[in-house]
Structure 1
């Protein structure tokens, strides 16, 4: 997998989302990932997830984003920001009428930039379903690869790990990789 610093801008053709890596782990000795994101109004929320070891932050520059954090909804507009503690279930969606531009951060950076690059490459190759999810076999490789950076809330982590243990070897036998 290429390092996060190899690419500074990425594009997801499935959603139209763009990311520009302003500061990466390589730039900050691993302390911070800072990204400018452009999220078109799709009305489709990302899956409920956690960053188990990272505090994340979003500051809206323009447009609106609706966040659900620990079951509570909050709409951010220009000038608003939100900090999400590590391990807190959350998702967001642009259900407005215009692109939402935000500065998003993750502390520590870990390999989150690598995750986004991998995920956007899958989208470029048309390897995500209508909900933006990879196949179950590909997920069985992605899940453990980026477990420190991001985890789905459901099914529970213990169930996911059991599935990864069973399906990961099958995926590798079929020639799949996390990327």
Structure 2
């Protein structure tokens, strides 16, 4: 349903919106929304696995919004960059990419101390809470393995972005974070 929001935000510019979706329920909801609001000419829905759907794209994009499974983000962004799908001054936005230092939640602390934010000194935030067991002892035991794996995937993704010379990283610390 992000495509509907992107359409609303770019309607005056007549931007072409392409959305990739795997989940059958989200595909049905998207189609229903696009039909209801007459968006089928404005929004293109590509169904299927993301890695296969990415191969169906051609041209370049000024903005790519990645709101996908955490363990797949690195591969998706790498594919976009490797296949030059991003325009020269384009922007890739990734949802749920917020990293904070474990010993201090104020990002200005890092600049004052001239400290780099790395996977070793960072917590991952999602759904308004840290997914670190140490940083969030209230996290129920039954969901800890799931969030721990998501945290590892996000740390790996953030390190990839930080270390790839094609990428300049900016963090917008709102909601679950947009990187």
- TM above 0.5, one fold? no
Larger Rg: 2
Greater RCO, CA 8 A, separation 6+? 1
Q: Going by fraction, where is strand more abundant, 1 or 2?
A: 1
Shorter-chain TM band = under 0.3
Normalising to structure 1: TM-score of the pair? 0.23
